[in-house]
Amino acid sequence: MPLTPAPSVLDFTDVTYRRSGKTILPGVSFSIGRGEHWVMLGANGAGKSTILNLAGGTTHPTSGTVDVLGQRLGRVELRALRERIGHVDPRHPLHSALSIEDVILTGLTGSVERMMRWEPPAGEIARAHELLETFGLSGKADALWPTLSQGERGRTLVARALITSPPLLLLDEPSTGLDVAAREQLLETLETLPGHDPALTTLLVTHHLEEIPPTTTHALLLRDGTVRASGPIDDVLTSDAVSEAFEHPIAVGHDDGRWYARTRARRGSLAAVL
């Protein structure tokens, strides 16, 4: 019996996007199914941020259609749509000395600061503490944002994005600024997500293959705003495809569930001779 395709969470159909007279996306099409975990890779300027903004309902396409969680941009109330999307951005613009608990709770209001005269229901506070425990932050609910390590901030932001139990989670280079240990802790956190919510769909943007969680199921390669390859990750992340997307000879490898990339030795180069 053939497998039934997963219901679509994201559908881009011939999407173009222009800004200040410049074409950023010349016609992008791809589809992401429910419960799938995607990584989007490409060089700087490839269009990754634009696609993420469209997926998050923060901008509209110039032409073509974008359907998010079954709702078409341009025909849906964006605030209601955004409430169903978790978004992790390591450049979170918080400057106040909020506690970890309060930072997580701001995910309920979609605000950076704790809203005045707003008190979260007891059930939501309990949910915040569940997430603290899930992401290795148990006992640190009162720790203040300025005192946190970058790794603790990263895990806090993932918890913040998940407190509303969104069906779609967008991760915008979440390992930015992390040292190796903090990066590995964050990847361990991301690896647990499918087990906690099998229906959750994720889209991760990164520049580095080493930052792809082992639970990633699909990949999309961008170059100059066009999709060069998309589909199951083992089919997409080949040396030839990645080299073409980044315009550099790259050897791609996969070991113990993790991906890595190295410069591919060219014939006649010193590396080839050695």
pLDDT of res. 207: 86
Instruction: Name which of 215, 124, 217, 212 is nearest 165 in CA terms.
Output: 124
Highest CATH level, class, for 1-84+167-274: alpha beta
Looking at residues 145-164, what average pLDDT do you find? 92
Q: Mutual orientation of helices 150-162 and 180-196 as an angle, nearest 10°?
A: 20
CA distance linking residue 215 with residue 24, whole number of Å: 30
pLDDT in tens, 47-93: 999 999 999 999 999 999 999 999 999 998 988 898 899 999 888 99
Q: Is the C-alpha dihedral spanning 141, 144, 145, 148 positive or negative? A: negative
How sure is the predictor about 6, in pLDDT bands with cuts at 50, 70 and 90?
A: low
Q: What residues does each domain of the chain span?
A: 1-84+167-274, 90-165
pLDDT of res. 272: 42
pLDDT of res. 112: 87
Angle at 230 between CA 61 and CA 67, to 5 degrees: 35
* Predicted structure pTM score: 0.90
In this structure, the number of other CB atoms found within 10 A of the CB of residue 271 comes to 10
pLDDT in tens, 182-215: 899 899 989 999 988 999 999 999 989 999 999 9
Mean per-residue pLDDT of the chain = 90
pLDDT of res. 1: 44
pLDDT of res. 105: 93
CA distance linking residue 246 with residue 244, whole number of Å: 6
Beta bridge partners of 22: 19
Name the DSSP letter for residue 101.
Answer: H
